Amino acid sequence: MGKGKKFSLVLFRVSMAICLFVALPGLTYAAPVPIHSGPQFVEGYYADPDVQNFNGTYWVYPTRPSQVGEPSSTGAKSIDIFSSTDLVNWTKYSNVISSANISWLQHALWAPSGAYRNGKYYIYFAANAINGDGQLGGIGVAVADNPQGPYTDAIGAPLINVVRNGAGPMDQDVFIDDDGQAYMYYGSWGEANVVKLNADMKSLGTWPDGTVYKKVTPAKTGNNDFFEGPKVFKRNGIYYMTYSAGVWVDSTYKVMYATSSSVTGPFVPKGIMLHSDSTTAYGPGHNGIVKSPDSEDWYIFYHKRYLNNPDWDARVLSYDKFGFNADNSIIPVEMAVGDNFNDGDDVGWTKHGGTWTVSAGQYNVASNPGAKALLDTNFSNMIYEADVTPGSTGNAGLVFRVSNPGTGADAYQGYFAGLDVPNQRVVIGKANNNWTSLATASMSLTANTKYHIKIVAQDASIKVYVDDMAASKISITDSSYVGGKIGVRTYNSAAKFDNISVESSQYETENINVSATSGDKHLLFGEGSGPDPNLSGGYGAMLEADAVNDYVTYTVNVPEARSYSVRVGVKKGPGRGQFQMSVNAANHGPVQDLYAGSLSYAELNVANITFSSAGNKSFKFNVAGKNDLSSGYFLALDYIKLIPN
């Protein structure tokens, strides 16, 4: 189940909190530092990635979809694995386990996971999709002398072929503790078990009480309960279990996590680590976790689905860096979008006209009367950056908020901002199967020279920066198009593109680093049978307050010293309370009332604030009371948005 190779920028992350970056006054553009490249890191549809690092090399073990001769009703009968030393360039090893070397494999080989011990490499896998005792199938194990194989069946039969504690024998993951004891966590159908592995790694041990299977399902609250795919790792003496919740064939699929002080639990749910985002991708889940052997960097590998591909099995592999708060909680992951083309391909890009190639770590296009390449995204308010090298004729640049793309110079709806070398100017305009110029700005431009372009789009406000990130070249107001794909475009010019990145310039409340809470509970809402399309990203954050002066505080990185209109997306309704916002302990704006007779959505202009400095600010939403008609004090928040005045 796989999807996803992305480009995440240090510029966009401060302490891994959701951040917005604009250079400080007086500073010019500095090249961003990429973590990795591309909208997916290996070509093709894959899923359920486990990841290990053996001697400095990363190994990824995914499920692959059915191929010719394998009915979709039974599934794949072999697996491919991938290796990389830099998380950018990947080598594929095909059919390392298949029905050719697993005699009892009949169909449906999936969710492999890797392990190493005593000079041997192991792959544990699920096969044959059994649903009860006495059937041929369950969890198997194969062994090899090298991580790339060839692998052979270690015991000639399933290692686990029974259902205990309601846990389906599948989605296994091996964890070796600090004392060298190996454990295997596994489970689906809403339950999880852990077993001890003996030193031979191919037989099960017993617990001190004589049992073999221990139930470790994270406590169920009725809110994103465990479904499948347990993965355990250890940090600072804490056992973390990540797992998938929701339905794996739709956008409810997500990664949750729980913690424990013991390998056998109890595991206490702590929250959502990764979820669908209507700007980026759906159904991220069934993940692997790995720590860099050379640093404190941690990575989550997972599969996801592109926004506009309805095929549930069209999953691709992704990974993102993630971090921890001071209290050891995991900072929620935001799926990054971009490409630095260091991997030498343009997998994930859709081309409309022109001849596109990747070479020398850049995306190249020959001169063409209107060629576009787009990523499957849906951004509205955004910070979109890229390096653009225009040719000597025509113009080249970035398109955004694009819909209905086709082949042809203006065959799309959306905006274009680019560099016009012949006329020595920066241009911005909009297309709707025709062209409307919106503004130009004079600038000395040299053909075949790299320029850094940044677009900051906030509602109707659109600013274009070139090289100097402190002062925009163009600032316009236009509300024709509110959201859509991002991409690159050329018009009668050869061009090169590099270091592409885009992130929402809204602070999504479900992802912002929550530094303090009071009241009963701070939780995610907008789940239902899927993310709420009325909420940005599909989700919001709820403070289930029970008294005046309960509060929730978010850390927000203010991008530059200036005046902003601070706007907050909310969900009004019965049981909602009133709040007043403060920033760094100073109240701003009037008391806001979220009560309504029925559910509704609104964007509140909470306050106009002049910040004397850039950097992290503490935004506090303090419960101020409740409407006479309200029965509660709940606050339902969607996003925080800073609009430059």
DSSP string, 114-179: EEEETTEEEEEEEETT--STTSS-EEEEEEESSTT---EESSSS-SB-S-BTTB-S-S-EEEE-TT
Phi, psi of 342 (to 5 degrees): -70, -20
What letter would DSSP give residue 19? B
What b/e readout covers 532-558, taking b as 16+ CB neighbours within 10 angstroms?
beebbbbbbbbbbbeeeebbbbbbbbb
Strand partners of residue 484? 379
Answer yes or no: are the C-beta atoms of 447 and 391 closer than 8 Å.
yes
Q: Residue 592: left (phi > 0), alpha (psi -120 to 50), or beta?
A: beta
Helix, strand and coil content of the chain, in percent to the nearest 5, comes to 0, 50, 45
Distance (Å, whole) CA 144 – CA 645: 63
* CA proximity to 551, closest of 527, 587, 601: 587
Distance (Å, whole) CA 630 – CA 633: 8
The tokens of 300 are what?
């989550």
Answer yes or no: are the C-beta atoms of 319 and 6 closer than 8 Å.
yes
* CA proximity to 578, closest of 610, 609, 543: 543
Answer yes or no: are the C-beta atoms of 190 and 225 closer than 8 Å.
yes
* CA proximity to 281, closest of 245, 244, 243, 319: 319
* 3 state DSSP class of 5: coil
Question: What distances in angstroms separate CA 645 from CA 365, 430, 506, 596, one per listed residue?
Answer: 38, 24, 16, 30
Strand ranges (E), 404-505: 413-420, 425-432, 435-442, 451-458, 461-466, 474-477, 484-491, 495-504
What b/e readout covers 20-33, taking b as 16+ CB neighbours within 10 angstroms?
bbbbeeeeebeebe
* 3 state DSSP class of 471: coil
Residue position matching structure tokens 């927000």: 556
Active-site residues: which are they?
Answer: 48, 228
Phi, psi of 537 (to 5 degrees): 75, -5
Distance (Å, whole) CA 461 – CA 478: 7
CB 480: neighbour CB atoms within 10 A? 14
The tokens of 162 are what?
């029974």
The tokens of 430 are what?
């909009």
What b/e readout covers 410-446, taking b as 16+ CB neighbours within 10 angstroms?
bbbbbbbbbbbbeeebbbbbbbeeeeeebbeeebebe
Burial class (CB in 10 A: 0-12, 13-18, 19+), 327: exposed
